[in-house]
Amino acid sequence: MPPFSAPTLYDTAPTFHHGVSVSSTISLSSSPSRQILADVEFVSNNDMNGEGHYTGEINKVTRLPHGRGSLRYTSYEKKNCIAYTGLWENGLRHGHGSLEYTTGVYVGNFDRDVREGFGFFRWADGAEYQGDFSQDTPNGRGKFQRKDGSTYYGDFKNGHMHGLGTMEYENGDFGVFNWNNGKILTKSEQKRSKNRKRWAKSQPQEEIILV
């Protein structure tokens, strides 16, 4: 089975400034008659009222974030969110943006506040996922690089490795795995060195669960 090759979100990993991704790929097409710049305490739907400070474009009529803007949360315990920079639609994260959590940073697409489409997530410990998101979790094809340097290419379902995929170890060894909701059903490994780390045996159930 050839290694999975994911679409490229970035030629290199995103760069971060004070924990928030800085990207020139965010774009906006707006009408000056409908949107104005604002620097206000954030007011959106009832679930997020008063939880942060928003700087950016808002809709003149609804006074909700609409267009490009940044929100730094002042109370993030409930959602584990620290800051968001990107596109908004009627008070919801919608389009391309970056969202910093207490556990890591997501850069990619949003659909009405939900991570949807292609995205990149970096955990605080250095592990990374790049690939498809659906219903706010990894669903579809993706690449997961562990902090030890080993990399998994394959299918994901609801944040778990699911279906066929390949594991490439840092020393060049590799294996083909068949997963069912994070549990290994079958595996076939090829050894290329004498000191291969037994990833599959030491961690028979690998789960990726994002906040």
The answer on 131 and 70 residing in a single domain is: no
Task: Write the CA distances from 209 to 133, 139, 158, 185, integer angstroms.
Answer: 12, 11, 8, 20
CA distance 175 to 153: 11
Tokens of 176: 């083909």
From CA 61, how far away is CA 87, in angstroms rounded? 18
Spatial separation of the C-alpha atoms in residues 203 and 51, rounded to whole Å:
39
Which of 78, 102, 126 is where one domain is finished? 102
Tell me what the pLDDT averaged over the chain comes to: 74
* pTM score, whole prediction: 0.72
**Judgement on whether residues 199 and 129 belong to the same structural domain of the protein:** yes
d(CA 63, CA 59): 5
Q: What is the pLDDT of residues 165-188, one digit of tens each?
A: 998 888 888 889 899 988 888 888
| Radius of gyration of the chain from its Cα atoms, rounded to whole angstroms | 20
Residue 15 lies in a domain: no
Average pLDDT, 10 consecutive residues per value, the chain (211 residues)? 35 34 31 56 45 82 87 72 93 95 95 96 94 95 90 93 89 87 83 53 51 48
- The three-class DSSP label of residue 24 is coil
User: Are residue 88 and residue 148 in the same domain, yes or no?
Assistant: no
- Report which residue type is found at 198: R
